[in-house]
């Protein structure tokens, strides 16, 4: 069996602060919000907050039905990439590099290289890498709104319903990280409205110290009060209530926050008289129901998970080819789904296209091959066979671990140390098309086929 540390994938401990400035367990101040004696929430501002921490008043285009998660294929959206001179209050590379310094051979953190040809010159940032033909290799910054809007334009064009916008709990008390998260969330909100998509907030608890769950609660209070986030036309609702997700409950990797703290957070989202009354989705380990392997063995986990409205087990790295994906569907997915059905809880399976973190972790390059799209399609196929009514795709923009489904290049930059994987010669937009086809499959608009052809993806 693969080690848990190796196979957890993108959301578990690798986002130990989106800016790369705070390590696991380190606490920071000031908080993103404080509660005064009258129980009123006062947000702590940073430069630019006044423009983005406000209700949305821009254009709204009708598209996907934001009133339900049923029938949706949603992607995870990290949005954590930054570049020097991209408008942030810090002037560094963010998430592109392993350490401070240039984005150059030996310092790259990503295994896929994004295709930025659709972006304006002002949205591209040159690196010290070069393509085989000698052109400078460029990347993007998630902090720039036009780039995020372009990503949502792709979602509309290829039929992807929307995203869960990652919000990293261990950065909510650090001004520069909060600046980035708020800016990306505001851009996602505008992108969803302009392009008829839907979105919801996902709090990733990875790296959160013990005793800091109140940071998440205060942040959600601010989003609802200052941004009126759940009143937004594009914000995802389910069963008549706004959806909020908590990712990272019950993993057996010695997280400092506790199960009782997770219970407190879920009950806050569900029952708080002002900021609650939400549909709560929880991201849990693949073996949550069995209380083994990547999951804690504490039976209290099952009691806490049963409080949720939607359960989504993390499966990145838990199977590595179509045969193993089929075995997972029989031994875990279907029993998990039955457990949820008995308790009137919705089930959201996770699918992913492949995996590689050679540059970040010195692991094997192309560790879980994509098989020219057939690995991802095998998971859509198994989900549909199990009568899944919704799917979560990991991830839209995760080039760090090679799970991205947005546009990436095949003619990758050259280096002596850094090594990049490709889409095996498939068009840069192939996985956008495939996820769009997966959405049609889940909704019953495509026949159930074990193999996907390029024609079907179109």
Count the domains in the chain: 1
Q: Does residue 28 sit within a domain?
A: no
Q: Does residue 59 sit within a domain?
A: no
Q: Which of 4-8, 83-87, 320-324, 397-401 has the lowest mean pLDDT?
A: 4-8
Residue with more model confidence, 187 or 4 = 187
Q: Does residue 49 sit within a domain?
A: no
Q: In this model, does residue 63 exceed pLDDT 70?
A: yes
Q: Are 449 and 456 in contact (CB under 8 A)?
A: yes
| 312 exposure class (CB count in 10 Å sphere: 0-12, 13-18, 19+) | buried
pLDDT at 456: 60
Angle at 27 between CA 26 and CA 33, to 5 degrees: 150
Mean pLDDT for 430-452 is 96
Range of the domain at 451: 4-14+66-457
pLDDT at 374: 97
Q: Are 380 and 438 in contact (CB under 8 A)?
A: yes
Encode pLDDT of 190-246 as tens digits: 999 999 999 999 999 999 999 999 999 999 999 999 999 999 999 999 999 999 999
**Nearest residue to 73 via CA among 333, 334, 376, 357:** 376
Q: Does residue 51 sit within a domain?
A: no
Find the CATH number of the domain harbouring 409: 3.20.20.80
Encode pLDDT of 139-164 as tens digits: 999 999 999 999 999 999 999 999 99
Mean pLDDT for 339-352 is 98
Neighbours of 324 (CB within 10 A): 14
Mean pLDDT for 82-102 is 97
Helix (H) or strand (E) holding 283: strand 279-285
End-to-end CA distance of the chain: 37
Q: Give the confidence band of 23 by pLDDT, cuts at 50, 70, 90.
A: very low
Q: Does residue 54 sit within a domain?
A: no
Q: Does residue 308 sit within a domain?
A: yes
Q: Give the confidence band of 453 by pLDDT, cuts at 50, 70, 90.
A: confident
Mean pLDDT for 98-105 is 96
b/e code 252-274 from CB counts within 10 Å (16+ = b)? beebebebebbbebbebbbeeee
Q: Does residue 321 sit within a domain?
A: yes
Average model confidence (pLDDT) across the chain: 90
| Collapsed DSSP state (helix, strand, coil) of residue 202 | strand
What single string gives the DSSP state of each residue in 29-69? SS-SEEE-TTS-EEEPP-TTHHHHSS---S-----S-TT-S
Q: Does residue 400 sit within a domain?
A: yes
């Amino acid at each position: 069996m693969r080690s848990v540390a190796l196979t957890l994938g993108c959301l578990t401990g690798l986002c130990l602060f989106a800016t790369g400035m705070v390590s696991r367990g380190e606490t920071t101040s000031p908080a993103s919000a404080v509660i005064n004696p009258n129980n009123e929430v006062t947000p702590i501002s940073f430069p630019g907050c006044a423009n983005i921490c406000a209700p949305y008043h821009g254009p709204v285009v009708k598209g996907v039905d934001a009133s339900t998660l049923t029938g949706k294929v949603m992607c995870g959206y990290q949005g954590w990439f930054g570049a020097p001179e991209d408008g942030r209050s810090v002037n560094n590379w963010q998430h592109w590099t392993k350490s401070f310094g240039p984005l150059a051979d030996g310092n790259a953190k990503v295994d896929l290289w994004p295709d930025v040809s659709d972006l304006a010159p002002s949205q591209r940032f040159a690196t010290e890498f070069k393509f085989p033909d000698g052109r400078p290799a460029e990347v993007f910054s998630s902090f720039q709104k036009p780039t995020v809007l372009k990503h949502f334009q792709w979602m509309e064009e290829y039929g992807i319903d929307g995203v869960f916008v990652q919000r990293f709990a261990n950065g909510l008390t650090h001004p520069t990280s909060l600046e980035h998260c708020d800016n990306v969330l505001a851009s996602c909100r505008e992108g969803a409205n302009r392009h008829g998509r839907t979105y919801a907030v996902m709090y990733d608890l990875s790296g959160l110290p013990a005793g800091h769950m109140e940071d998440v609660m205060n942040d959600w209070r601010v989003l609802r009060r200052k941004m009126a986030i759940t009143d937004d036309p594009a914000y995802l609702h389910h069963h008549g209530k706004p959806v909020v997700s908590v990712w990272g409950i019950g993993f057996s990797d010695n997280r400092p926050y506790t199960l009782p703290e997770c219970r407190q957070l879920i009950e806050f989202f569900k029952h708080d008289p002002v900021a609650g009354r939400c549909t709560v989705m929880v991201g849990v380990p693949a073996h949550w129901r069995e209380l083994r392997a990547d999951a804690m063995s504490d039976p209290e986990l099952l009691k806490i998970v049963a409080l949720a409205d939607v359960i989504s087990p993390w499966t990145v790295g838990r199977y590595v080819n179509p045969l193993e994906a089929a075995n997972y569907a029989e031994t875990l997915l279907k029993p998990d789904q039955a457990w949820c059905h008995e308790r009137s809880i919705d089930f959201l399976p996770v699918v992913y296209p492949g995996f590689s973190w050679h540059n970040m972790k010195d692991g094997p390059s192309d560790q879980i091959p994509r098989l020219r799209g057939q690995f991802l399609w095998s998971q859509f196929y198994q989900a549909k066979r199990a009568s899944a009514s919704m799917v979560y795709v990991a991830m839209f923009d995760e080039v760090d671990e090679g799970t991205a489904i947005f546009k990436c290049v095949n003619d990758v930059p050259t280096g002596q140390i850094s090594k990049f994987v490709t889409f095996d010669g498939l068009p840069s937009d192939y996985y956008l098309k495939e996820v769009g086809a997966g959405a049609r499959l889940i909704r019953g608009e495509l026949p159930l086929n074990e193999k996907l052809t390029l024609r079907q993806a179109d």
